[in-house]
Amino acid sequence: MGKIEELVQKGQSLMNDGQFDDALGFFEQALFLNQNDPDLWNNKGIALRSLGRYEESMECFNKSLEIEPRDKFAS
C-alpha cells in the first residue's frame, strides 16, 4: 500500500470515529503528495463540512469537480 493510500485510510478511520479535525490533517498530507486526485479533494471537503467549515468545503468539492467533472462521488 502506498503512502497516499495509508494517509487516506487513517483519515477515513478517524472520520468514522468522529475525529474530523485529525482526519483533515491526514487528507491534507495526502493532497500535499498529489493535488490532482479528485477523491482526495472530496475527502478533505467532507472533513471540512463535518467541522462546519462550509465555504472551505465547497472550495474542495469544486476543485474535485474541476479535476474530474463527472466525479459521481463529489458531495
pLDDT at residue 11, as a whole number: 98
Instruction: Assess if residue 54 is contained within a domain.
Output: yes
**Residue 72: DSSP 8-state:** T
Which helix or strand (DSSP H or E) is residue 32 part of? helix 20-33
Q: Kindly state the percentage of the chain with pLDDT values over 70.
A: 92
pTM over 0.85: yes
Q: What's the pLDDT score for residue 72?
A: 61
> What's the rounded mean pLDDT across residues 22-41?
97
Count of Cβ atoms closer than 10 Å to residue 53 Cβ:
16
Domain count, the chain: 1
Residue 74 lies in a domain: no
For residue 38, the domain's CATH number is 1.25.40.10
Q: Identify whether the C-beta of residue 38 lies closer than 8 Å to the C-beta of residue 65.
A: yes
Q: How many CA atoms lie within 13 A of 69 on its CB side?
A: 0
Domain that holds residue 18: 3-67
pLDDT band for 49, please (50, 70, 90 cuts): very high
Asked if residue 41 is part of any domain, the answer here is: yes
Res 19 pLDDT > 70: yes
